[in-house]
Copies of this chain bind each other. A is one copy, B any other.
Amino acid sequence: MGKEITSRSEDYAQWYIDLVKKADLAENSDVRGCMVIKPYGYSIWEKMQAGLDKMFKDTGHVNAYFPLFVPKSMFEAEEKNAEGFAKECAIVTHYRLKSDPLKKGKLMVDPDAKLEEELVVRPTSEAIIWSTYKRWIQSYRDLPVLINQWANVVRWEMRTRLFLRTAEFLWQEGHTAHATAPEAIQETEQMLNVYAEFVETFMAVPVIKGKKSEGERFPGAVETYCIEAMMQDGKALQAGTSHFLGQNFADAFGVQFTNKEGKLDKVWGTSWGVSTRLIGALIMAHSDDDGLVLPPKLAPIHVVIVPIFKTEQELEKISEQANQIAGALRKQGYSVKFDNRDTHKPGFKFAEWELKGVPVRIAIGPRDLENKTVEVARRDTKEKQVVALDAIATSIPALLDSIQENIYQKALAFRNSMITPVNSFDEFKQVLDGKGGFVLAHWDGTAETEAAIKEDTKATIRCIPLDAKPESGVCVYSGKPSDKRVLFARAY
């Protein structure tokens, strides 16, 4: 089909790019670092949005929309946050173009239309949102504020890669305000759990929940929680973060409230987000050398039906059968594609739908019509079976459930095999350079050691797992005492 993709063993990074492009998920645009999300890729994002949005609403959140632009003076109000994003901001300085007197038909920036204050294109919305919350929050009765926003954000990344790191990306960002610290911490943890549940149940990607070290924290946060996933090449990927902001943004923007005792108090905050980066994680966690492997819960098409025919008459009879099957499955809420193109051979179609990761393929030929059967192939294991026509309406839904579960179990077994406890720095480096994956090691808790290990190995502390067991040991790098192991890895 002229769509060969590089194999994972040959060049994993190229395999990823090939897959994204050839499965029609996304492509680079003519705008530096910005991607075009193509319809097939976007439909995966729509499914992710629908799943997450429902979970947000079920936990009491509502959606709203805040401005794209943040005036510089507002942006710099929370100093750590501003400092963290200052180096990668797109800045609007003018509001008009005019005809270029030197080049006919061309435009130039109108120097008379310079803004009095520059506008930052939001890299994240804490500043604009907390400047708004100041107006909304006066009393404890106004709390909590539980808001989510679906939006585009811009971070001027120098090295970009489709979905994983782009200058503009789509995401959701939750921003909540609370009367007390425990309530805000509970919200931070709740949303981490929502993310973990989404990534595991919808994306079929197992994650490890933890806290970031101080060095890896979100700028402006008191604590950053995260979920970390393992990709097939042994590199980790941060799939979502949930931040306890303490009173940092309340301080920066003067957001105070009268508490139940009638006293003035400062508001506590959280923020949490996941982005189109998740599509990159989805691809890298499950797919193979033949193309995408999509979990049914996020697959734009659940079932493709391919007719095997020689004559018009055969196609006609098969179509009748196919339409019946499609109708029965659609009634149950599944998305079914009947690929009746007469311009392509079945083998081409098989390869194309495998590339696109459609979980189940049904092939129907003349002999199937006679036998009242169809051939059913599952994308994840490539296994085929013959299924009686009258069993399809029940067996396909069961098969899709089993594919969802199998993909998860496979990823879980792999991920578990990629967590290696090590007890020396030599072992640490051997594992990283050998099988890769997560390395569970004792760390002395200092930023110096963390930086030295990163400098030496390119591995970072992915998280301090929430379920880390207390265990006395010594730091693999410094030999100083440590009371638990943390999770290191090279990461996307």
Contact = CB atoms under 8 A, between A and B. Distances in A.
Contact of A42 (B65, B92, B95, B170): B65
A90 interface: yes
A86 B97 contact: yes
A96 B79 CA distance: 16
A477 to B, nearest CB: 32
B97 A109 contact: no
B72 A90 contact: no
Contacts of A31: 67, 69-71, 119, 128
Contacts of A69: 31, 34, 90, 168
Contacts of A135: 27
A34 B68 contact: yes
A76 B106 contact: yes
Interface in A1-59: 27, 29-31, 34-39, 42-43, 45-46
Nearest to A100: B76
A65 B39 CA distance: 8
Given A39-B64, A43-B63, A168-B68, A92 B92 contact: yes
Contacts of A91: 92-97, 109
A105 B131 contact: no
Contact of A62 (B29, B42, B90, B93): B42
Contact of A97 (B105, B120, B128): B120
Given A68-B34, A74-B30, A132-B29, A96 B107 contact: no
A33 to B, nearest CB: 9
B88 A96 contact: yes
A317 interface: no
Contacts of A38: 64
| Number of copies of this chain that the complex holds | 2
A156 interface: yes
Given A72-B97, A97-B91, A97-B120, A63 B86 contact: no
A348 interface: no
Contacts of A75: 97, 107
Contact of A107 (B62, B76, B119, B121): B76
A168 to B, nearest CB: 5
A489 B38 CA distance: 41
A82 interface: yes
A263 interface: no
Contacts of A82: 97, 107
B118 A109 contact: yes
Contact of A79 (B63, B95, B105, B121): B105
Contacts of A492: none
B128 A29 contact: yes
Contacts of A95: 88-91, 156
Nearest to A63: B42
A91 B118 CA distance: 10
Contacts of A120: 97
A87 interface: yes
25 contacts: A29-B132, A30-B74, A30-B128, A30-B131, A31-B70, A31-B128, A36-B64, A36-B132, A37-B65, A39-B64, A42-B65, A68-B121, A68-B154, A69-B90, A69-B168, A75-B97, A75-B107, A76-B106, A82-B107, A89-B97, A91-B92, A91-B94, A93-B93, A97-B120, A109-B118
Given A31-B128, A34-B69, A93-B109, 19 more contacts: A27-B135, A29-B128, A29-B132, A39-B62, A42-B63, A42-B64, A45-B65, A68-B152, A68-B168, A72-B97, A75-B107, A76-B105, A86-B96, A86-B97, A88-B96, A89-B96, A91-B93, A91-B109, A95-B156
Interface of A: 27, 29-31, 34-39, 42-43, 45-46, 62-72, 74-76, 79, 82-83, 86-99, 105-107, 109, 118-121, 128, 131-132, 135, 147, 151-152, 154, 156, 168, 170
Query: Which 7 pairs between the two chains have the least Cβ-Cβ distance?
Result: A34-B67, A39-B62, A86-B97, A37-B65, A91-B94, A95-B156, A31-B67
